[in-house]
Amino acid sequence: MASRMSSSAALKGKVALVTGGSSGLGRSIAQAYAQAGAYVVSADITAYPPHMPIFERRNRGIDLRTPTVELINSRWPSPKSGISRANFFKCDVSSEDDVARTVNHVVETYGRLDILANNAGIAIENIDRFRTGRVTRMHEMDTSILERIMAVNVRGAWLATKYAVKQFLSQSPHDSGDRGWIINTASILGAVGSAGSTCYCTSKGAVLQLTRATALEYAEDKIHVNAVLPGFTESYMLEAMYDKDVEEKLSQIISSQQPWATIGKPEDVASAFVFLAGDGARWVTGIGLPVDGGYLAR
């Protein structure tokens, strides 16, 4: 995974918190930040990535079985004695107490917080549609699915933003005057609809609006707030749809919908998170940046 990320010092010395950092996109974001010179706290409900057979079939299993922080500390060790490049903190982002403790842990460990990658998210509706050929529509769906998705994807993003901003405002700004960078993981399905994904689309539309409103609210404080809209990407969410009988069919269906005609890699999306946390995005706030192989250009 790291081979596709370019080495740089774009984020040298900055401290980043990545929610949902143990697997999928969050794992790639954490690695990209470390490679760009940042210190990273990976916050998730478990330090260990889930078992993903399809990645093993693609010869990527060794990295995926290693906890994110172990991977980072072995590849990009800290130049400071006694301080690790990365560490893990257990966090359920839907819990306000957990989120507050996580931000406190970041500051206690590294002295400040500069970047929040607000990435933790779930997609649990209709994950078997490619196995069964049937979509469960809204009127057939249990309301608990909506509540679970909104608790993580929206409440979690709002809480992490709240406590990150409080920390940004309490610490000294950078020499540039910038106080902090928040990058939210939205989705192309926050910008367009998808039948069978009403809960997920609703949640990611909310994340996009949270991004815009927060960017306006804290622009005077020089806090950058942006979102990345990933397209169909090799991630844990997409893995949930796969099994050996539908993998080829699903890949063909998704690739046919992409102008770039491929499914994205997590590291392709992670590069956008590095850009939005760096000097190249100094005058950028309040945007939703699609990284989707051209999907939204149709």
Alpha-carbon distances of 256 from 104, 123, 263, 294, rounded to whole Å: 45, 22, 10, 12
Whole-number pLDDT of residue 267: 92
Whole-number pLDDT of residue 127: 65
Confirm whether 200 is a catalytic residue: yes
Whole-number pLDDT of residue 125: 82
Q: Running DSSP on this structure, what letter comes out for residue 218?
A: T
Q: Which of 33, 39, 200, 295 is catalytic?
A: 200
Whole-number pLDDT of residue 233: 83
Which secondary structure element, helix H or strand E, spans residue 138, and what is its range?
A: none
- Whether 69 contacts 90, CB under 8 Å: no
- Give domain limits for the chain: 11-289
Q: How many CA atoms lie within 13 A of 234 on its CB side?
A: 19
Tell me how far apart the alpha carbons of residues 30 and 150 are, in angstroms, rounded to a whole number. 24
Q: How many CA atoms lie within 13 A of 78 on its CB side?
A: 17
Residues of the chain with confidence (pLDDT) below 50: 1-6, 53-57, 59, 242, 244
Whole-number pLDDT of residue 53: 46
| Partners of 117 in beta bridges | 18, 183
Domain boundaries 11-289, CATH class: alpha beta
Q: How many CA atoms lie within 13 A of 120 on its CB side?
A: 32
Helices (H) and strands (E) in the chain, counts: 12, 7
Measure the CA dihedral 73/77/81/87, to 10°.
-30
Q: Running DSSP on this structure, what letter comes out for residue 16?
A: E
